[in-house]
Amino acid sequence: MEALDVGDGVSNVALSTAAMLRELGEPDVIHARFVAPSLAGSTGPRHALLARPGAGLLFHYWNYNTSTWMVHAVHGRRAVYYHGVTPPEFFAEGSLNRWMTSQGQAQIRRLADCFDLVVGTSRYTLAEICGFLHRPRPAVHLYPIVDADACRRAPFDPMLVEALRSRGDVNLVFVGRIVRNKRQDQLLRLFDRYHRLDPRARLFLVGNDASDPAYRAELEALRESLDAGSRVTFTGKVSERELNAYVRAADVFVCASEHEGFCIPVAHAMALDVPVVALAAAAVPETLGEGGMVVEDWDDEAVAALVHRVVVDPGLRARVIACQRATLRRFAAAEARGRLSAIVDFLRAGTWSPYFRWSHELDHGRDEGVARSWG
């Protein structure tokens, strides 16, 4: 992969995949160009692949990549693990993010035919990359592991949870980088409408706010223009313990993101029994499955009313949480290990698995997922 960093969604998936490979008796070293110092023990230099030209390769791709030579250096079977590339139009003309995503989209289109097997973090991303192929390939989705018990056992900041809960506020929370595709601007407008229904409400936008400074400045101007702006908090990048505290203390997790290859924060909220209200875009409905409350057409007043119902109606809240618990079974470790084992068998010997489908059999349009309607 190109980069391995602390707290990054793709990096967390890569580390989890490496751990499962170790359980399967395979090498668990991640070959990356950029590595956070604290993760150096999990990695090896990219050129080490040259000593094993016949090895199989699992190549993570999510943006423009300077390590694509690795794909051509390996003569064994090659699989791409595609996380999705954010559409460039979400970023300002002339920005680095615009350039990186534009180049990334063009690069993966050129590169897709080099792989013998295509793997997606969701059915949505799998259909997207299969649309770039010029001849059929075996294809399989491999969801990230989201284990409810592990999420509940994860360390959190108890003092922060107490501070957030003790004031009697209603806490709306979203977790994600401050970038345009996450649509924090939509959440700000929603919150201003919701605050009229419940003046106790607060909105916490949790995530790195250094990726798109221009958008962050627009959000700040919008916040200052809203009647309820003083009740909005941008946390910036936080530690894992703080992130877990914000989600634990949430009354509702709200998501207006318009592009997700798989929405780990939504799954994390479901694992902690936080009701989710989310826009039905990209892979978000697929992540929600039959849990959460999906919004097909975002209207601030209607969504605010829906969030308010979840807060004030204990029966509805209980039903949503029960459905969320059931849908998380799709992301169980045992299911992921079975699929990864099939990928390993293919890379080793070309073995076909019942998990696989031919790429041309997939729906290359928008994957609606299986999210249910709550009326």
Indicate which CATH number applies to the domain containing 223. 3.40.50.2000
For every residue of 206-251, DSSP letters joined together read ES---S-HHHHHHHHHHHHHSTTGGGEEEEES--HHHHHHHHHT-S
Residue 28 and residue 138 in one domain: yes
Clarify whether residues 44 and 180 are in a common domain. no
H-type helices in 226-313, by residue range? Answer: 240-248, 264-271, 284-288, 300-312
The tally of CA atoms less than 13 A away on the side-chain side of residue 61 is 36
Assigned domain for 371 exists: no
Summary mean pLDDT of the chain: 94
Q: Domain for residue 47, yes or no?
A: yes
Instruction: Specify the residue for token string 């080793």.
Output: 348
Q: In this structure, what is the dihedral angle of CA atoms 188, 190, 192, 197, given to the nearest 10 degrees?
A: -150
Domain span at residue 205 reads 148-330
Quick one: pLDDT at residue 368?
42
Distance of CA 225 to the CA centre of its chain: 30
Asked if residue 66 and residue 124 are part of one domain, the reply reads: yes
Statement to judge: residues 250 and 277 lie in one domain: yes
Same domain assignment for residues 319 and 344: no
Name the β-bridge partners of 233: 204
- 186-223 pLDDT, tens digit each: 999 999 999 999 999 999 999 999 989 999 999 999 99
More confident residue, 290 or 374: 290
Question: Do residue 14 and residue 120 come from a single domain?
Answer: yes
| 76 and 180 belong to one structural domain | no
Q: Are strands 138-141 and 357-358 parallel, antiparallel or unpaired?
A: antiparallel
Span 234-252, mean pLDDT?
Answer: 97
Task: Identify the pLDDT of residue 365.
Answer: 44
In this structure, the answer to whether residues 231 and 90 fall within a common structural domain is no
How far is CA 53 from each of CA 32, 245, 340, rounded to the nearest angstrom?
17, 45, 21
CB of 290 within 8 A of CB of 372? yes
Q: Residue 369: what pLDDT?
A: 46
366 within a domain of the structure (yes/no): no
Q: What is the CATH number of the domain that holds 131?
A: 3.40.50
β-strand partners of 171: 202
Q: Which two tokens stand for residue 122?
A: 């969701």
Q: Which of 239, 229, 240, 234 is nearest to 211 (CA)?
A: 234
User: Would the pLDDT of 362 be above 50?
Assistant: yes
Q: Is the pLDDT of residue 351 over 70?
A: yes
Of 290, 309, 330, which one is at a domain's C-terminal end? 330
Clarify whether residues 320 and 343 are in a common domain: no
Comparing 44-48, 144-148, 295-299, the range with the smallest average pLDDT is 44-48
Is residue 366 very low, low, confident or very high in pLDDT (cuts 50, 70, 90)? very low
Report how many domains make up the chain.
2
Going edge to edge, which strands form the sheet with 170-175?
232-236, 201-206, 170-175, 252-255, 276-279, 293-295
49 pLDDT tier (thresholds 50, 70, 90)? confident
Please check whether residues 167 and 314 belong to one and the same domain: yes
Q: Is residue 25 part of a domain?
A: yes
- For residue 372, what pLDDT is reported? 55
